[in-house]
A and B are shown apart, each in its own frame.
With several copies, the nearest count.
Chain A
Amino acid sequence: MVVINIPQPTVSVTPLDVDTRMTALRKMLEIRLTEEKIQEMFLANLIRGTTHLCIGQEGVSTGVASALRKGDTVTCTYRGHGHALALGMSVKAMIAEMMGKTSGCCKGKGGSMHMTDASIGLLGANAIVGAQLPIAVGAALTASMKNTGAISVTFFGDAATNIGAFHESLNLASVWKLPVIFVCENNRYGEYSPQHWTTPVENLSVRAASYNIPGVTVDGQDVETVHAEFKVAAERARAGEGPTFLEMKTYRYLGHSRTDTGPYRPPGELDAWKERDPILLLKVKMIADGQLDEVEFGELRDAAERHVAEAVEWAKQEPYPTEADLLTDIFYEG
Chain B
Amino acid sequence: MPVLTYREAVRNALADEMRADENVVFFGEDVAAAGGVFKTTPGLQEEFGSKRVRDTPISEEAFIGAALGAAITGLRPVAELMFADFIPVAMDQIVNQIAKYRYMSGGQFMVPLTIRSAQGGGVGFGTQHSQTAENWLLNTPGLKIVLPGTPVDAYGLLRGAIRENNPVIVLEHKGLYNLKGEVPDDTGVLELGKAKVVRAGRHVTVVGAQLMVHRALEAAETLAKDGIEVEVIDLRTLAPLDTATVLESIKKTGRLVVVEEAPHTSSWGGDLASLAADEGIYYLDAPVKRVNMGRAMFAYSEPLETLAIPSVERITAAIRETAYTQ
Contacts and interface: CB of A to CB of B under 8 A. Distances in A.
A and B touch in the complex (CB under 8 A): yes
Interface of A: 48-50, 73, 75, 100-101, 104-114, 116-118, 123-124, 126-131, 133-143, 145-146, 152, 159-160, 162-165, 167-169, 171-172, 175-176, 190-193, 197-199, 264, 320-323, 325-332, 334
Contact of B65 (A137, A159, A192, A320): A137
A331 B108 contact: no
Nearest to B141: A330
B93 A49 contact: no
Contacts, number: 261
Nearest to A119: B108
A330 B103 contact: yes
Interface stretch (B72-80, B251-259, B273-281): B72-80
A146 B77 CA distance: 13
Contacts of A108: 106, 299-301, 304
A104 B106 contact: yes
Given A134-B61, A175-B57, A100 B128 contact: no
Interface residues of B, number: 73
A330 B55 contact: no
15 contacts: A49-B129, A100-B301, A128-B89, A134-B61, A137-B65, A138-B65, A138-B66, A142-B69, A162-B59, A191-B30, A198-B56, A199-B57, A321-B299, A323-B307, A330-B141
Contacts of A105: 106
Interface stretch (B118-126, B182-190, B209-217, B229-237): B118-126
Contacts of A326: 296, 299, 304, 307-308
Given A105-B106, A134-B61, A172 B66 contact: yes
A209 to B, nearest CB: 17
Contacts of A109: 103-106, 127, 299-301, 304
A63 B123 CA distance: 35
Interface in B249-297: 294-297
Task: Count chain A CB atoms within 10 A of each CB in B102, B106, B142 and give the residue with the most.
Answer: B106
Given A124-B104, A135-B69, A145 B97 contact: no
B101 interface: yes
Contacts of A171: 57, 59, 62
Contacts of B294: 327
A111 B298 CA distance: 12
B300 A49 contact: yes
Given A108-B300, A159-B58, A191-B30, A118 B105 contact: yes
Contact of B66 (A112, A123, A141): A141
B54 interface: yes
A131 B141 CA distance: 19
Contacts of B107: 107, 328-329, 332
B71 interface: yes
Contacts of A164: 59, 61-62
